[in-house]
Structure 1
Amino acid sequence: MLRGLAAAWGVYTAGLAVLLAQLLRRCRGGFRAPVLPPQPGRVAVVTGGAEGLGLSTARQLARLGMTVVIAGINEDKAQAAVRKIREETANDRVEFLYCDLASLASIRQFVENFKKKKIPLHVLINNAGVMLAPRSPTADGFERHLGVNFLGHFALTSLLLDALSGAPGRCARVVTVASATHYVASLDPDDLQGSRGYSAHGAYASSKMALVLFTYRLQRLMRVRGLRATASAADPGVVDTDLYRHVCWPVRLAKRLCGRLLFKTPDEGAWTSVYAAASPELEGRGGLYLRDEEAARSLPATYDLELQERLWAESCRLTGVPDVAATVLSEAIPDVNSDLRVTLGGCQQPGNAPTWPPRPQQPPPATKPRPQHGCHAPGNRSFEIKPRLQYGFHAPSNRP
């Protein structure tokens, strides 16, 4: 019980810190939409794109000219979203494909149906999720936060890796929606189901921490394999959506009374994901944790290479996905001390360069990247990532 109370306290404290930061930002001028160039010819898949944050993300990508595939479970709601997006954006290249992230069989069927279309995949937005849902297993027996938020997206991304192919001179992008609650999370790869002490708050925070760990290892895997793709995590902040329907009643009351002032709108929350998916400034750069369209430090433990490896291996075991990372990355170990900011297939990927031996809980330093080669879009000036301070609940060692 004490463990559950501590997890709840951590999650609500993290949320309050983000809300105060958002209020301060609003008092200083508010949030501004990123200015992005048209993206015709690009194909994007958005999980949970029928409502809330996912709907806003899908609509903004469609407005940029992308072909958008909404992956979800409620066909009526999704088809209504498709019609709405087509009308608002004058883009008819928006469609729905059924995908239940709580079922590995459904995920595999979605991948099969997508590949039958014989179209490339340039952008994958891992957006869907549940929060503080009543404890219940998924179709495969996983704890629901673990199964839907993390393992579902882990399997989906792994099965779509071969479909990810950047347009000429450009990289494909995997964008995974994270959360500030990962800063107060802990994760044990040997007990992902929470059998040693379950808390819905802790399970949600742990699932978001797992997504960040997954993103960093995915980036490293794609770089070493020479895939023309990057992976980054996008923190939307606290957004006014139905995701909060399971929170305690004082929070629901505060959301109803002060939501417009404290919470981001779905469009504002989606801007970071859209920026990560389409900004020329990020061409070829991966392994980033983005918040309000800027790079930030994630929890120090998420940079632990050993923890990333253990989580990945256990996720492969649970989902039945072959662990190609174990072989590929182990073979790359002898070269890991060298500068891994290399051009692979015309797509430079300097982010999240590892060190060896691993230095747990030490975020990589901010660096000024070399000029891009091959996938350097016009006007894409080299820039320096300046990690921002955390919301106020970061660990003492977790400072830029």
Structure 2
Amino acid sequence: MWLQSVLVPLLRLYLCGMKVLLYQLLHSSFTLPVLPRQNGRVAIVTGGTRGMGYETARHLAGLGMHVVIAGNEREEGGAAVRRIQEEDVEGRVEFVFLDLTSMKSVQQFAQTFKDRGLPLHVLVNNAGTMMVPESQTEDGFEFHFALNYLGHFLLTNLLLDLLKRSGRPGCCSRIINMSSATHYAGVVNMEDLNRRVCYSSHGAYSQSKLALVLFTNYLQEQLTAGGFPVTVAAVDPGMVDTALYDNLWSLAQALKKPVAKILFRTPAEGASISIYAAAASEMEGVGGCYLYNGQKTQSSDSSYDPELQAQLWKKSCELVGVRG
């Protein structure tokens, strides 16, 4: 049991990491094209106080968007807003508290936003955590599963009607889900989504990232079938030098520092994929895709499994208390 549940996910995840680093050694990072102005459009960016989320929020505000940075660090959020405002961006930027590990907080955030009467054109589900020690949220969910996936699943569903109303043919609303190459190593265990039988932080993390891709593909199918002007894309930023890696083992942390300087992307480079998905003309009407280095790429075989997509959707609805 330990070999299958702990060692195998660890080896798969680090193998994925090595493949990504090799790719980044041989290929330059994606360069954003000139993007159209986004005046009058409204975006929410989760985890936008630092790292890739901050760079995404900053760039979208620079294009003229009204950007709501959603995060659970009020002081850090205020500082992020001030830094962006100091750049004299054309758009508006603000911080609103959101704790994605608390389903109550997600519900409160969504209701407060809807009560303001604003449209919503872009939702960037960026916030995440990686390889934290085993812990449960206040709702009893495994931490990676709750923060990386389930909180975003609930947030998206609560704001979906607003996204549908805000989009129109030829100018769709857009949902961007932040996944990673680790989803290729992921296994969604429908019998133990909270990883209580035999915990592995590596397995829990990769499961949460695969869940986001499954969610992306299933939701796009439903939106397309209903004729709604909303697209959903999963993005893979590559290996980026952010605080996500703070939870690595001591040895891995020591090895990561010199490697990161040479091979890792900067937060701005990693954010370029989310920004492209959120604002590029080339992405108008394009959904149900997995973007890596600015290109549509095949995600894992399991991410296209319609039965697994439907099972995860149904179970997720039950867990967060929304209608399927």
**Fold shared by both chains (TM-score > 0.5):** yes
User: 1:59, 1:89 within 8 Å by CA — same for their partners in 2?
Assistant: no
Compute the displacement of 1:34 (Å).
2.9
Compute the displacement of 1:168 (Å).
7.2
1:328-343 matches, cutoff 5 A: none
User: 1:178, 1:208 within 8 Å by CA — same for their partners in 2?
Assistant: yes
User: 1:46, 1:125 within 8 Å by CA — same for their partners in 2?
Assistant: yes
Q: CA–CA distance in 2 between the matches of 1:35 and 1:190? A: 46
Deviations 1:177-224 (A, max 9, x none): 011001011112222111232100000000000000000011111112
Q: Unaligned stretches of 5+ in structure 1? A: 324-400
State the match for 2:295 in structure 1: 294
Are 1:43 and 2:42 matched, yes or no? yes
State the match for 1:112 in structure 2: 111
Compute the displacement of 1:60 (Å).
1.0
State the match for 1:90 in structure 2: 89
Q: Unaligned stretches of 5+ in structure 2? A: none
User: 2:175, 2:230 within 8 Å by CA — same for their partners in 1?
Assistant: yes
1:201-240 matches, cutoff 5 A: 201-240=202-241
Q: CA–CA distance in 1 between the matches of 2:169 and 2:310? A: 32
Q: CA–CA distance in 2 between the matches of 1:83 and 1:168? A: 35
Counterpart residue identity of residue 127, structure 1: N
Counterpart residue identity of residue 43, structure 2: A
Structure number with higher helix proportion: 2
State the match for 1:9 in structure 2: 11
Deviations 1:358-383 (A, max 9, x none): xxxxxxxxxxxxxxxxxxxxxxxxxx
Q: CA–CA distance in 1 between the matches of 2:219 and 2:182? A: 21
User: 1:122, 1:167 within 8 Å by CA — same for their partners in 2?
Assistant: no
Are 1:151 and 2:154 matched, yes or no? no
Q: CA–CA distance in 2 between the matches of 1:187 and 1:210? A: 7
User: 1:42, 1:167 within 8 Å by CA — same for their partners in 2?
Assistant: no
Q: CA–CA distance in 2 between the matches of 1:244 and 1:185? A: 18
Are 1:265 and 2:260 matched, yes or no? no
Moved over 4 A (4+): none
Q: CA–CA distance in 1 between the matches of 2:127 and 2:181? A: 16
Q: CA–CA distance in 1 between the matches of 2:179 and 2:283? A: 18
Q: CA–CA distance in 2 between the matches of 1:58 and 1:250? A: 33
The root-mean-square deviation of aligned C-alpha atoms, in Å, is 1.3
Counterpart residue identity of residue 250, structure 1: L
The structure with more radius of gyration? 1
Counterpart residue identity of residue 131, structure 2: L
Q: CA–CA distance in 1 between the matches of 2:279 and 2:118? A: 19
Q: CA–CA distance in 2 between the matches of 1:294 and 1:239? A: 17
1:58-69 matches, cutoff 5 A: 58-69=57-68
Compute the displacement of 1:169 (Å).
3.7
Secondary structure of 1:219's aligned partner: helix
Compute the displacement of 1:226 (Å).
2.2
User: 1:219, 1:231 within 8 Å by CA — same for their partners in 2?
Assistant: yes
Are 1:185 and 2:186 matched, yes or no? yes
Compute the displacement of 1:92 (Å).
5.3
Q: CA–CA distance in 1 between the matches of 2:225 and 2:275? A: 26
Q: CA–CA distance in 2 between the matches of 1:117 and 1:186? A: 39
Secondary structure of 1:39's aligned partner: coil
**TM-score with structure 2 setting the length:** 0.96
User: 2:168, 2:229 within 8 Å by CA — same for their partners in 1?
Assistant: no
Q: CA–CA distance in 2 between the matches of 1:12 and 1:168? A: 42
Secondary structure of 1:147's aligned partner: helix
Q: CA–CA distance in 2 between the matches of 1:178 and 1:256? A: 23
| Between 85-94 and 285-294, the greater mean CA deviation after superposition | 85-94
User: 1:33, 1:268 within 8 Å by CA — same for their partners in 2?
Assistant: no
Q: CA–CA distance in 2 between the matches of 1:247 and 1:132? A: 7
User: 2:170, 2:284 within 8 Å by CA — same for their partners in 1?
Assistant: no
